[in-house]
Each structure stands twice: as C-alpha cells, then as structure tokens.
Structure 1
Amino acid sequence: MATELDKVKEYLYNENSLAFLVAYISLNDSGYNVPIPSSLDLNGIKQGWEQIISQSFNLACDPDFLEELCAIWFDAIKKQGGKVTEHFSSDMINILTNKPVLTTQASISRNQPPQPKKPITPINDGEGQYVQNHTVSSVISDDYRTVQAISNSSIIPKNELLKKIASALKSHNEFEFLLYYLSFVKHGGQPEIPLELNHSSIQSKWERIIHSLYNTSCPPLFYRRLTDLWLNLIHSTGPIISQEALFKILEKLQIQATQKSGAVKNSSQKTKPSFWNNLKKIFK
C-alpha cells in the first residue's frame, strides 16, 4: 500500500502540481515536518520550492511545472495571509481544494500533547550520500514567524497613526515618521514607498509622497535624513519591496525604537545617583 510520502513523490514525478501541494502539506498532519518557502513574493517562492524539491526529493523540476506550482502556491498563500495559526496546514489545504477555511480552534483539543514530528526521509543522491534538509524543522518558516510576530505586536489604530505621523512631520522627526507610516502595513495596507536606489530620486519621491498624502512639506534636511534612513534600512532587501520586506523593515525600526527608549531610560537612571550624590555633598 502506498504511503502518504509515496503519493507525494508520485504526484511530483507525474508533475501534478495541485495534487502534489495538497499531498505535501498533508504530510504535516500525518506526523511529518515539511519545509515550505520562506518568502511571500513570487521570486522567493520559486527559489524556495526549487530548493525544497531538489534537496528533499533529489529532483530537478521542469520549468513549466515549477512555474505552475509556484503560481498556485502564491495565490493560496495570499488568500491565507501568510499568518501563523495552529491550523496553517488545514487552512492551506482547504484553500487549495476550494473548501471553507477554519476560523475557530474548537475542534483542536487543548489538552492533547504535541506529537513528535518525523523528518522526510532524504533521497539517495546516487553516490551513497543522502541530501540533508536543514530546513525540516517546522511547517512554518522563519519569515512567516517574523511577519506574524510583527502582526501580533501592538497595533495602533489608523486615526492614532495619522496623528503620530502629523506630529512627526511637524517636529521634522524622520525616524518617527517612517515608523508610523510603515505601521499601516499591520492594517493590511501597502504604503507607497520609493522603489529607486538613487539618493536624489528617493528624496524626490519622499517629498512627493508626503505632499500628496499629507498636504505638507518639510525642510530639505528632513528629507535628506529620511532618505539616509531609508537607504540604510533597504540595504539588505534591494529595490523591489514586497509586503514581507516591509514587515522586516518595520521590525528593524521597532527594534531601534526599543533600543532608543532603553538608552534614554538607562541614561536617566545613571545621571540620577550623580545628582543626588552632589546634593548630599552640598548639605554635608
């Protein structure tokens, strides 16, 4: 009798993209740990599936099959939202098979202990070596966890974001402006951003965005600092910014904001003893 893994291999060898995806994701509910593409954009998804199929099944995909596979996955993950839930696998399967997506966890036993997962058996490479799949640790990739962590962090209401943006523009604070402007991504929005890499082009784009959206203008120094900050943040992401990349940039800003807050707090704590020591000396 064919096992679940045998069915996955059969669909893959026969280049049945939809059946392969459904059977592959179903392995997670059958006790297997299966890797998935870590990216939410189409190019990253293509690279992810190409690597997974090559490492886990020792197979080079036909380009047409890979394109079809990635298009189906891209459409499904957009509908699912890329959110980490306890029933990610079942949600994806339901989307792929056009069934209703679960919205509650009533069917999941709260007291049921988690079952250990089995890795996918690596395929012999023909030389006595077995392909080591280092990504077989969880059905949820690190990038999905990053997006979900930012999504689940404190979400500022839209009207409050607008107030904070207005305040940042009034005080010419480029860091706070960018932090709150990009926070709209938490509400499912896609903030307009510069896609250029040239400093002057980026600066001009920010000027147009701010004037168009907020009907205001700031001093040239503000735009130069904003452009420097933006270039530093996108250094590792490149000119094409996906929603996933925006979440990562927002994460960097939030980390920097936390560090700045901590530095101010530590600074005040360090200066306080010195103040009181000097005061004691005066009244000795």
Structure 2
Amino acid sequence: MTYKTILLDVSDGVATVTLNRPERLNAFNRDMADDFKSLWAALKSDDSVRVVVLQAAGGRAFCTGVDVKDGWRASGERAQPFEMDDPGEWLGPKSNKVWKPVIIAVHGLCAGGAFYWLNEADLILCSDDATFFDPHVTFGMVSAVEPTGALCRMPFPEIQRMVLLGNDERISAQTALRISLVTEVVSPESLHGRARELALLIAEKHPLAVQGSVRAMWDALSLPHATAVANALKYTQLGNPISTAEVDRAQIKTPNWTLR
C-alpha cells in the first residue's frame, strides 16, 4: 500500500512510520488522517510487524498538530457539532485497536494535535532539541481532548500549566523527562537509531506476551484500581498458556542488560 503523507518501512519485525510533510512542519491534514486510518488497519493484521516506531522527517518539527491551512476535514464535509469525528479516532493506534507496542521518537517542535499520538504511545523518546506545548488557548480555542488524553502520562498540574500558558511557555526535553512525558533524552543524531534499538529488543519477545501486556495496561487505565487489579488476571489466563508453550525457557540467555 502506498501513502500520500507518510513513509513506511518494515524490517526485522519493526514497522518504521515517518511523518513526511516537513514543509508543513509535519502537521496533519485529511490525507494524513486517511493514511493513518489505513495504516493502522494494515499493521494490525500484519503478523510480520511486532513493534511500531513513529518518527518524523527532518526539519524543525516532529508535528505541530493540525495543518491550520488545510484543516483535516474533507472538502465539503458537514461540520455540525454532533456529527464531528475527533481526529484521534483516525490517528491513534489504541483508538484503532492496535495493541502492538508503539515507540515515538520526537525531535524539534511537538505541539497541540501531536498529542493524539503521544497520548497513545507506549514509549516516547525525544532529542535534546525537542520542545512540547499546546497553543490552543493562545488562539482563543478550548483545549480539551489532547490534555485529557495526556492525563494518563503527565501530572495534572503540568498539563494545566501547559494548557493555560499556551504559546508563552514550552516544555523542554529535560522537563519532559522529569514529568515522565518521555522516558529518555538523546542527541538528535542518535534519536531514530535509539528508537529502533529499543524496538528490536521488544520485537524479539513473543508477540502474544507483548500485546497482552500492552492491552492489559491500557485497559487498566479506564478502571478503578481494585477492579483493574482483579481484571488483570484474565490476561495471564488467556495469553500465558499459548505464549509460554511456544517459549523454551532453557534457550533464553541472560542478556547483557543495561541500567537506566
């Protein structure tokens, strides 16, 4: 399948997806929304793909959200308030029931609607030149969907500060690490290589064990704690009899592990 706004490479169990609109700061429009809707359906059913890395073409930005010039709705599409789709339903892997781990590598500007991807990622890395911000209120717009989605990743006070200050303040790479928005900061030159390195380590593991673990944790986010703990057992009951039967523990060697 070919795409208009993204590049796709699949090798060694890793699907590397690259936002490819650098001339528009990799902002998403309707073509990109369509591309991601098709992409997630394809990757979900492709057993050769075990992990997804999402990155962006070089330049100033990972993504600055929706393209303010093009918009993301199709030309002539009705825009009555109660008929509007949310772009996250097209862009996000979890919204499209993809339980393969998603690693995001962020460089440069990362703003507004880019959080549709961040909010549904399993791991986020960034380069030390990355900055994160939400410009909605600066332009008189309510910021609601993206920050609400970020509640599973960032502390509430940090989200509110980002939302209310708008374009007046940006979150640095080091602050993003401190507040757990990202898990690692690297140099711009090593960003994509590091994301792939982690993806390959995950891709070596049994896909059912990995995907079951991913889904269990994401389902838990929507449940009260006691219910989530009780609910977690079913994932092991369903997945372990299948995955462990296909894993020879005697053949698993202790790796040269790293300390983070």
TM-score (norm 1): 0.20
Whichever structure has more helix as a proportion of its residues is 1
Point out the structure with the larger strand share: 2
User: Normalising to structure 2: TM-score of the pair?
Assistant: 0.21
Which one has the largest radius of gyration?
A: 1
